[in-house]
Structure 1
Amino acid sequence: MRIAVLALDGLFDTGLAVTLDSLGAANKLAARLPGVTPRFDVTVVGVRKRVRSGHGFAIPVQAITPDLKPDWVIVPALGATTPDLLIPALARADVKQATAQLQTWRAEGALIAASCIGTFLVAEAGLLDHREATSTWSLAPLFRQRYPKVSLDESRMLIASDIGVTAGAAMGHLDLALWLIRRASPELATLVSRYLLADIRSLQAPYIIPNHLAQADPLMQRFERWARDHLKEGFSLQQAANALATSARTLQRRCQEVLGKSPLAYFQDLRVERAQSLLHGSGLDLEAIAAEVGYVDGATLRALLRQRLGRGVRELRADLR
């Protein structure tokens, strides 16, 4: 498998390193498995001759030439982790050149893989339009605003489509590398994950901080504060809208635009977050925790936690020890 890793100035050092280390480990460990012959031919390329990482380290890159025909192109994240840093970065000449190169590679049949903020570059190239994708959960509101044609689901860690695959925040680079290895050989991916003490995670949802997402919009900030004060009560869209001096329709629309979900779904996110906190440090049993977050019994809360986080109560308590 021929892989081109596209390196840009200011990239996330760990993202590049974990990608290269994982694929390198796969190449070394493949020899230990009878009958497993996948080989990852990895080339780090750049649109400029000199590339420096976010921490200022020089990254040796090869020039992009017409005879470079990768099967996969991996786009590591830029180190611009906030909208005020990312938006100017996306306007850089080298980034625009990189997105044009992604379009060219895709037209030639290459598949595109991106993690974290790297997904923004793929979206800039228009390659995610009318497709499902994931990205770093912390910048989901900006992603939705900037790329309304993309069906974003930041609760998931990995989403494959016909053009390739997108992965979630920061250490999603590791999940992405393991996913690529697993496509070549599930047995090899299992061996690599054991050596690296890592495995593919299916969800970002357990890591999402609802408060962070609400900061992207003043109305959402006010809604979040109101919701936290009313977690013990049953949710009423009209009651929330009245308290915020807006219409139910406006609250519904803004919540969908900024957070990609309904006000009720966000309200439930806050309930889940509060329940997790109480599971960790309160000493309350499940029935008491359910009452604290507005559910009539523990069974309902148990089902919600399983649905949202992919783990049961016992697993969540064990995770937090």
Structure 2
Amino acid sequence: MKIVAVLALDEMVGFELTIPGQVFGAANLIAATPEYDVRIVAPGRRARTDSLFGAVELRTDWDLAALTDAHTIVVPGRAPTHPDPPRIVLDALRAAHARGARIASVCTGAFILAAAGLLDGRRAATHWEHAEMLAQRYPAIDVDPTVLYIEDGTVCTSAGVAAGLDLCLQLVRNDLGATVAADTARHTVMPPQRQGGQAQFISHPAPAGTDILLGDTMQWMNANLHRPLTLADIADHAALSVRSLNRHFRSQFGTTPLQWLLAARVRYARELLETTDSAVETVARHAGFANAAAMRPHFVRQAGVSPVSYRANFRAAHPSVPTPAEAGSWR
């Protein structure tokens, strides 16, 4: 059985403390036999949650010594303005990493991993509101404020709060496969793989004096991924010039229409690879690429592996996802 140690420190966010237990505990209910032993670990076996979100005194059966046997350690967030944890905590995280334990952070828990030096030279995620602070405080880290989570070897980081659910579900997927992960997500009432990254949540103030909204156009793009859409096609649907479309799209969503379209096509290709038996060439065409060769570099850039490797890792048991043409307005 894999020990999952959730590190409880004073001033942590209470909700983030419970995320790993919810996901890994649900996976225990789904799997043929329980796979995880979830332990709340605290220095001195006591911790207190941040009063801003509701102060709770916590007592647990496990102190820092429990990190020695942990397969996975999850570090919930605290306000990044809090002092670094005591040296004994940072040393325990370093020792766990050195022996090969998988270490993950939720939201601003990335600041704790950074203080331990575990993120130096790595890509890392945290809540978009605190990404700039993390990058400034720890310049050796490649901070990406746009993604929901990042897996960099045995060190994983996630964005704000709910992205901790996404990351924990991904860890279950890595351990137990796509089918158990999908059933765990269903039990937890969340999507097996949430579309998009943090960019959709980052605040981009609308230009003064504009009331142009592009939600309908984004839905239309999503429903027509299989078509060879051009920037002019998208601009025509939005009833804007190409120049105005690019300006409004970037101001509202933090990216360009074609960049968003490319990311959406790769996301949809991932869905099809997970949930259908279609050949990779067919998947590429349904997702709007000319062929599999054209899709491959974009897929590798976003997913980190080739389409064939991705399917081998994440193929689900029950095909269910329609093509955009079949789905119509559903997408």
Question: What TM-score does the superposition give when structure 1 sets the normalisation length?
Answer: 0.65
Could you tell me which residue of structure 1 aligns to residue 110 of structure 2?
Answer: 119
Deviation at 1:291, TM superposition (A): 5.3
For the aligned residues, what is the CA RMSD?
Answer: 3.5
Deviation at 1:108, TM superposition (A): 2.3
Residue 286 of structure 1 aligns with an amino acid whose one-letter code is: A
> Structure 1, unaligned stretches of length 5 or more?
32-36, 81-85, 212-224, 232-272
Residue 58 of structure 1 aligns with an amino acid whose one-letter code is: E
Could you tell me which residue of structure 1 aligns to residue 261 of structure 2?
Answer: 306
Instruction: Report the Cα distance in structure 2 between the residues aligned to 1:99 and 1:176, rounded to whole angstroms.
Output: 22
Deviations 1:101-123 (A, max 9, x none): 21121122212111100111101
Could you tell me which residue of structure 2 aligns to residue 262 of structure 1?
Answer: none
Instruction: Report the Cα distance in structure 1 between the residues aligned to 2:256 and 2:114, rounded to whole angstroms.
Output: 36
Could you tell me which residue of structure 2 aligns to residue 19 of structure 1?
Answer: 20
| Of 197-206 and 172-181, the range deviating more from structure 2 | 197-206
| Of 119-128 and 154-163, the range deviating more from structure 2 | 154-163
Aligned with 1:173: secondary structure? helix
Deviations 1:255-289 (A, max 9, x none): xxxxxxxxxxxxxxxxxx97546859xxx941327
Instruction: Report the Cα distance in structure 1 between the residues aligned to 2:83 and 2:214, rounded to whole angstroms.
Output: 36
Instruction: Report the Cα distance in structure 2 between the residues aligned to 1:65 and 1:294, rounded to whole angstroms.
Output: 54
Instruction: Report the Cα distance in structure 2 between the residues aligned to 1:67 and 1:301, rounded to whole angstroms.
Output: 44
Aligned with 2:239: secondary structure? helix
Paired residues for 1:1-321 under 5 Å: 1-31=2-32, 37=33, 39-54=35-50, 55-61=54-60, 62-65=62-65, 68-78=68-78, 80=79, 86-87=80-81, 89-91=82-84, 94-185=85-176, 186-199=178-191, 200-201=193-194, 203-210=197-204, 228=207, 276=214, 285-288=237-240, 290=242, 292-294=244-246, 302-307=257-262
Relative distance call for 1:274 and 1:14 in structure 2 (3 A) is farther
Instruction: Report the Cα distance in structure 1 between the residues aligned to 2:208 and 2:264, rounded to whole angstroms.
Output: 23
Relative distance call for 1:276 and 1:208 in structure 2 (3 A) is farther
Instruction: Report the Cα distance in structure 2 between the residues aligned to 1:56 and 1:67, rounded to whole angstroms.
Output: 25
Instruction: Report the Cα distance in structure 2 between the residues aligned to 1:181 and 1:274, rounded to whole angstroms.
Output: 41
Relative distance call for 1:60 and 1:28 in structure 2 (3 A) is farther
Relative distance call for 1:189 and 1:289 in structure 2 (3 A) is farther
Aligned with 2:190: secondary structure? coil
Deviations 1:269-321 (A, max 9, x none): xxxx97546859xxx94132755445699xx9642432467789x99x989xx
Aligned with 2:134: secondary structure? helix
Instruction: Report the Cα distance in structure 1 between the residues aligned to 2:132 and 2:240, rounded to whole angstroms.
Output: 34
Deviations 1:235-272 (A, max 9, x none): xxxxxxxxxxxxxxxxxxxxxxxxxxxxxxxxxxxxxx
Contact 1:279 1:289 in 2 (8 A): no
Deviation at 1:21, TM superposition (A): 1.3
Instruction: Report the Cα distance in structure 2 between the residues aligned to 1:207 and 1:66, rounded to whole angstroms.
Output: 36
Contact 2:41 2:66 in 1 (8 A): no
Instruction: Report the Cα distance in structure 2 between the residues aligned to 1:126 and 1:190, rounded to whole angstroms.
Output: 33
Instruction: Report the Cα distance in structure 2 between the residues aligned to 1:66 and 1:197, rounded to whole angstroms.
Output: 31
Contact 1:29 1:188 in 2 (8 A): yes
- Identity fraction in percent: 26
How many residues matched? 242
Residue 164 of structure 2 aligns with an amino acid whose one-letter code is: H
Deviations 1:115-161 (A, max 9, x none): 10011110111111111111111111101101110111121112111
Deviation at 1:65, TM superposition (A): 2.0
Contact 1:158 1:176 in 2 (8 A): yes
Relative distance call for 1:184 and 1:275 in structure 2 (3 A) is same
Aligned with 1:68: secondary structure? helix
Deviation at 1:98, TM superposition (A): 2.2
Instruction: Report the Cα distance in structure 1 between the residues aligned to 2:115 and 2:35, rounded to whole angstroms.
Output: 31
Deviations 1:209-231 (A, max 9, x none): 135xxxxxxxxxxxxx9xx4799
Contact 1:127 1:163 in 2 (8 A): no
Could you tell me which residue of structure 2 aligns to residue 220 of structure 1?
Answer: none
Contact 2:126 2:157 in 1 (8 A): yes
> Structure 2, unaligned stretches of length 5 or more?
219-235, 250-254, 269-323
Residue 17 of structure 2 aligns with an amino acid whose one-letter code is: L
Instruction: Report the Cα distance in structure 1 between the residues aligned to 2:19 and 2:142, rounded to whole angstroms.
Output: 27
Instruction: Report the Cα distance in structure 2 between the residues aligned to 1:289 and 1:20, rounded to whole angstroms.
Output: 50
Instruction: Report the Cα distance in structure 2 between the residues aligned to 1:296 and 1:66, rounded to whole angstroms.
Output: 52
